[in-house]
Amino acid sequence: MKVHILAVGRLKDGPERQLVDRYIERAKSVGKQLGFGDVSVRELPESRAKQSEQRKKEEADAILAQVQDGAVFVFLDERGKSLTSEKFAQHMGDWRDNGARECWFVIGGADGLDKDLRQRGKLTLNFSNLTWPHQIVRIMLAEQIYRAMTILSGHPYHRS
């Protein structure tokens, strides 16, 4: 199963991007042994529409244009569910074992995600009740993907 982080907006070069890249490379290395294909980050431009709902709709259309039918969608949203790292890893393992070819973790733009798009998700996830900048969410997500793969492999990185 290929794993993708799809984010609306661009992460500038600097320590945040370097940290995301480091966790992605680690996830690729561990994931190969577990039947996970490529792990990647894709960025989409933010909509320039004047109205929030129109921006969300345009960004949703751009997100859907990237994804093939049958892929697993996981949305990061403040209304989502909090999971333990073990449960997160279990979801990833289950999707892989049930034949999902791709899993897309989607981080919306500044206005959030379109309601109709969110309904397509297999899971809507939050990292806490706090509001986080998109840059930090990317880092946290990349780390959790890596952590999930280490949990699935029995690697000692995760200590519960």
**Token pair belonging to 7:** 């984010």
The model carries a pTM of 0.94
* Domains of the chain: residue spans and CATH: 2-153 (3.40.1280.10)
Query: Binding residue per annotation — 130?
Result: yes
C-alpha closest to that of 103 among 34, 48, 21, 157: 34
Mean pLDDT of 51-68: 95
Q: How far apart are CA 71 and CA 3, in angstroms?
A: 10
Which pLDDT value is given to residue 99? Answer: 93
Residue 43 CA: distances (Å) to CA of 10, 40, 84, 109, 134: 6, 10, 27, 11, 12
Query: Binding residue per annotation — 108?
Result: yes
Which pLDDT value is given to residue 159? Answer: 77
Query: Binding residue per annotation — 80?
Result: no
- Residue 70 pLDDT > 90: no
Query: Binding residue per annotation — 132?
Result: yes
Which pLDDT value is given to residue 83? Answer: 96
Mean pLDDT of 121-131: 91
Angle in degrees, CA 86, 145, 16, rounded to 5: 130
